[in-house]
Structure 1
Amino acid sequence: MINVLLVDDHPIVRSGYARLLEAGGDIHIVAEAQDADTGYLAFVQHLPRVTITDLSLPGSSGIELIRRIRARDQTARVLVFSVHDEAVVVDKAIQSGAHGFISKRSAPEVLLEAVRAVARGDRYFSEDVRKIVEVRTPDSERAIVNALSPREFEVFRLLAQGLSAAECAQTLNLSQKTVANYQALIKEKLNVSTSAALVHLALKLGIVAGSESQRLLNIDR
C-alpha cells in the first residue's frame, strides 16, 4: 500500500482527488492539508511514501513545502500536481527536490500512474511538463531566475505578490532583517532596482498572477 499525503487548499478538490487515488486499490491517503505549514507537520507525523502538493497555497507555496520536506528527509518523494506549469515554476520545483510534476489538466489515470512511479523511485512528468523539462535552452530571464535558491525564489514570489518584508518574514518564520537582506540580493541577481520591476518580471514569467501583485504595480516606477 502506498501511503500518501495530499496538500491542496481546496477541500472539495482534495476530496475528489482522495477518492480517485484510493479507488486505485493500492493507494491510501494518510493525511490531508490545506497549506504548507500544516502539510509539513502532517509529513513529520505520518512520514508518507509520497507527498502530493499543489504549488498555489495560502502563505508559503508548495515549492517552500518541498524544500522543507526534502531538508528534513532526503529520501522523501514529492509529486507536484498543479495548474501552474510555466517553465520557471517547473524548473524551481525540480530544483527544490520534486520527483514528479503533472498538470491538473491531465487525465485522472495520469495522477494514479504518477503516484505509483514516484513511489517506486522513478521520476514522472505529464506529457506537457515533459516537453518543458527536456528543453535545456532557457531564455536569459528564465536562467537568471533559476539562479535563485529555493528560499530566494520563495521570497521573490511573496514580494511579487505584494507582501511587505515584514509580512514575508512572518510567513516564512524569518527575521525582518533576513528578509531585507534576501530582498536586496534578489534584486541584484535579477538585475532590477524597483519593486515594480520585480513584479513585472514575475508576471512575465508566470510566477504570479496579475490579481496577486496589484498592490505593487503602481509604486516604485
Structure 2
Amino acid sequence: MKKIDNNLQAFIMIRFYLIDDHPAIRKGMQSMIQTIPEFRFAGEAGSAEEALPHFSSEKIDLLISDMMLPVNNGLFVLSKIKEIQPETKTVFYSMLKDWDIVKQAFLMGANGYLAKTADFDYIRKSLKEITEGKKVFPEEILSILPGEEWDDTASLIQILSKREKEVLQLIAKGKMNREIAEVLEISVRTVESHRSSLLEKLKLENAASLIRVAAKLYG
C-alpha cells in the first residue's frame, strides 16, 4: 500500500504563477520554489494586467504575488482571481508591513502572507502548508483577528458586490446614509437598499451589528 501511495504522490503537481514587477525577484523565487519536487512553474508577470489573461486560459493552483504592483495592487489581483479561478490559492510575498492591508487580504480570502526577508526553509514549509489548505499569516494579523470565527466572515465578504463593499467601508468610517449617498453619488434609497442587502448577506440582525462588523473589518 505504501508503494501505491508513493506512486500517487509522484503524480501530484502544483502549478504556481508569479507576479512581481522586479524580474530578478521573479527569477529568484522561480528557482527557489522549483526545488520543491511537486511544484511546477506555470508562468510569470510584472503586473496584474499582464497576468490576469493567463488565469482565464490556464489552470493555476497557486499564485504568489507582490502586494505593491504597478497600476493595481495585490488586493485587486486577489479579487479578480476569486472571480476567474476561485479555487486558486493566493499568497502575497512582500516587504509591506501595512497590517490594515494585510488584514483586508486575509478577509478577502488570501491564503498566506510571507515576508521577502523570510528564509527558504520557512517559505518551503509555508507554501506546502498553504497548498494543503492551511492559512499562513504573520502573528500581527492573527492577533488582530483571533480565532477561527473570522473564516466564515471572510467567506461572506467574498460574495458582496463592489458597491456593497464600498458602502460597508463608509459605514466603518461612521458615515450616515446621506453622507454615503453623497460620496458614492447615489440616492439615499439606494444606500438603504445596499444596507438591507448587507444585513442579509452577512447574516446580521440589525444596524448596530452591521456597524460593529464594518468597524472590525475596515476600521
Measured against the shorter chain, the TM-score band is 0.5 to 0.7
Q: CA RMSD in A?
A: 2.9
Match of 1:15 in 2: 27
Native 8 Å contact 1:9 1:57 kept in 2: yes
1:130-145 alignment runs, 5 A limit: 130-136=139-145
1:53 to 56, 65, 83: 65
> Structure 1 residue aligned with 2:118, among 106, 114, 121?
106
Q: Deviations over 1:90-128 (max 9, x none)?
A: 111112221111111211222222221121221112xxx
2:99–2:140 CA contact under 8 A, matched in 1: no
TM-score normalised to the size of structure 2?
Answer: 0.59
Are the equivalent residues in 1 in contact too, given 2:55–2:85 (CA < 8 A)? no
Q: Higher relative CO (CA 8 A, sep ≥ 6), structure 1 or 2?
A: 1
Indicate which of 105, 116, 120 corresponds to 1:93.
Answer: 105
- Quick check: 1:33–1:42 contact (8 Å CA) kept in 2? no
Ranges in structure 1 where 5+ consecutive residues have no aligned partner: 138-146, 156-180, 187-221
- What is the Cα deviation at residue 27 of structure 1? 1.1
Q: What residue number does 2:183 align with?
A: 184
Q: After TM superposition, what 4+ stretches of structure 1 lie above 6 angstroms from structure 2? A: none
Please tell me the residue identity of whatever aligns with 2:96.
H
Q: Which residue of 2 aligns with 1:164?
A: none
The structure with the larger Rg is 2
Question: For residues 181 and 47 of structure 2, what CA distance do their matches in structure 1 show?
Answer: 23
CA distance in 1, matches of 2:51, 2:181: 25
Give me the identity figure in percent.
21
Report the alpha carbon displacement of residue 74 of structure 1 after superposing the two structures with TM.
2.5
Show structure 2 runs of 5+ residues with no match.
1-12, 147-156, 167-179, 186-219
| 2:67 partner letter | L
Normalising by structure 1, what TM-score? Answer: 0.59
Count, aligned residues: 147
Instruction: Supply the AA of the counterpart residue of 2:117.
Output: R
